[in-house]
Amino acid sequence: MQELFKKIINTDVKPLFSKNGYSKKNLNFYKADGNLTYKFNIQKAKVNTSSQVQFYVNCGVHSTEIAEFQSVELSGTILENISHFTCRIGEIVPSAPAHYTLTPNIDSDALSKELVSHLEEGISFLHSLTGARGIVRYYMAKTALHLSEETFRFLLQAGDTEEAKHYLEQLHAKYGVEKRWAIFEKKYAAIFAEYGL
């Protein structure tokens, strides 16, 4: 099954990414475009055997704009490998499975065709995130805590004070009753204070 996995990667997956301007390193595919780096990672499961190979597709986008709003390491350098947008492919391509499985009785051509179709949809979705604002809006729409501090800094620096306040209200409505909210509230208050609010 390992050989079949390698064949699918080399025969179908790699050409798809190459056609879309991606470079390959191991099972990682990258494409830099302005302030963004689009990323796909094929992650093999730890439970694989000689007769079964499971793998996942992880998707990500690194934004240099958002990186500027993140805490820097103690050395003072910004982490370049962090994906600010990150998910498994099923989160952005609803028809994609939680993982793909190769077994001796699998129709490998059908699986490969399905995988390529899902990857094409995933590429299309990631490429619809054309800047930091797209990533910020994605997580704001989900009322997610992920990137919330960076989102506030991004919005406040851009002068979108009302949008930042509205997002704070949404977060409070969703998480305000949780014990940990006091920690977030303190962080958010400090961020608003940085911008004189």
Candidates 118, 153, 116, 131; CA nearest to 85 is 131
Average pLDDT, consecutive stretches of 10 residues, N- to C-terminus, the chain (197 residues)? 92 96 95 95 91 95 88 45 89 95 93 97 96 94 91 94 95 95 94 91
Look up the pTM and report it.
0.87
Report d(CA 92, CA 53) in Å as an integer: 23
Cβ burial, residue 94 (10 Å; 0-12/13-18/19+):
exposed
- Please list the residues that pair with 102 across neighbouring strands: 53
Whether the CB-CB separation of 160 and 148 falls below 8 Å is answered with no
| Predicted pLDDT of residue 81 | 64
| Predicted pLDDT of residue 75 | 42
| Predicted pLDDT of residue 2 | 87
| Predicted pLDDT of residue 71 | 56
Which residue's entry shows tokens 């997002």?
A: 167
| Predicted pLDDT of residue 83 | 86
